[in-house]
A = this chain, B = another copy of it.
Amino acid sequence: MVIVIQCKDQVGLVASITTVLMRKGINIISMREFVNTEDARFFVRIETTESNDAALIEAALQAVLPEDTAIKVNPLPDKKIVVLVTKEYHCLSDILIRNHFNTLGAKVQCVIGNHTTLQELCNKFNVPFHYISHEGISKTIFEEKLIHTIQQYQPDYIILAKFMRILSPQFVALFAGHIINIHHSFLPAFIGAHPYRQAYERGVKMIGATAHFVTNDLDEGPIIVQQIIPVNHAFTAADMIKAGREIETAVLAKALQVVLDDRVFVYKNKTVVFE
């Protein structure tokens, strides 16, 4: 069982929480606690031996904790995700393979593409593919179509796996805290378009990728995972794009792993990740 709790910090929180668990005879296997002292914010993730009464435990915990506390007990063992794509295959392929072999930590409900490029790949894995083109319609209409399709599946998370359209604040607000994007640079470097061309022009010696929650400010949401790979003078801009595929795939995979394993908290514009 996994228990995650976020609330305002105060003396005795851990004692209160663990006393509740002790009284129910639940043994703690692993516990990660962190207090952001600047913000007086308390975060804890507890793995325990098994228990049947998640609702009862949640209620017992709520009874001893501050009112505004966010508690999740045994959260969502069968998480559902929807993946949005455009034309690039690398991140989607990785997700579909893990989905197929049940090592993703969630089930892919469907893939939505604004091009048909990746439809065949989804077909191979019997994952529903919805083609929703952005062409010839307003952004509002386009997003209404996306929303209509997404809401049919009630996903826990929406994954932008190289989805090349910028989403409106209205769309983002609707799924606030539930949209994860893979960005093709080591944010905040090379914000915006053509980051690999920018990186090439600047002559950097590393390129990176950033997985983050999406907020209204483009490329400015809470960062979940960042990694880099070394490059050198012999890399053309095209080589950097190719190398970028590897790091983008790895970073998104890692981000999904920690998010789907309930290891990530969001507060203000940052994450707490208990790896």
Q: Which residues of A contact B (CB under 8 A)?
A: 9-15, 18-19, 21-22, 25-38, 89-90, 93-94, 97, 100-101, 103, 121, 124-125, 186-190, 202-206, 208, 222-228, 232-234, 236, 242, 246, 250, 253, 269-273, 275
Contacts and interface: CB of A to CB of B under 8 A. Distances in A.
A233 B32 CA distance: 12
Contacts of A250: 246, 250
Contacts of A35: 27-30
A16 B270 CA distance: 32
A226 B205 contact: yes
21 contacts: A10-B27, A11-B25, A12-B22, A13-B28, A15-B18, A18-B18, A28-B35, A29-B35, A29-B37, A31-B32, A32-B33, A89-B101, A94-B97, A124-B124, A187-B189, A187-B202, A187-B204, A203-B223, A203-B269, A205-B223, A233-B272
The 9 closest A-B pairs by CB, nearest first: A203-B270, A15-B18, A12-B22, A31-B33, A189-B189, A14-B18, A205-B226, A233-B272, A124-B124
A96 to B, nearest CB: 9
Contacts of A125: 124
A21 B15 contact: yes
Of the listed residues A15, A19, A228, the one surrounded by the most CB atoms of chain B closer than 10 A to its CB is: A15
A188 B189 contact: yes
Given A14-B31, A15-B15, A15-B19, A203 B188 contact: no
B31 A11 contact: no
Consensus secondary structure, chain A interface: mixed
How many copies make up the complex? Answer: 4
Contact of A273 (B97, B100, B232): B232
Given A11-B25, A223-B204, A233 B186 contact: no
A18 B12 contact: yes
Given A188-B204, A233-B272, 18 more contacts: A11-B22, A14-B28, A32-B32, A38-B236, A97-B97, A100-B121, A186-B186, A186-B206, A188-B189, A202-B269, A203-B222, A203-B270, A205-B226, A206-B227, A233-B270, A233-B273, A246-B253, A250-B250
